[in-house]
Amino acid sequence: MPLSGDRLRAWEPASWPVAHDWQPVVRQFLGSAVGRSLGAFVQDRIDAAATVYPPAPFQALAETPLAQVRVVILGQDPYHG
């Protein structure tokens, strides 16, 4: 199972829930060169026993339909512990 505990265990975005209207956006990104590169990088880090957060990377996309989104702000909390 890719999601377990408090960290990501495998790069398996097809198994992560996403709201229906986000699916084409996510599919396009994951199929792009940048999306494939990101997936390879994250899986390499997981394979190297690195702790990768969060355990459910697309959780916000499952909880908030694209039609309700007006602004997306990306950021990272550098102090997860």
Q: Active-site residue numbers?
A: 77
Compute the Cα dihedral for 22, 27, 33, 34 and give only its sign: positive
**Structure tokens given for 59:** 């959780």
**Structure tokens given for 39:** 């997936």
Coil, strand or helix at 21: helix
Chain-centroid distance, C-alpha 41: 13
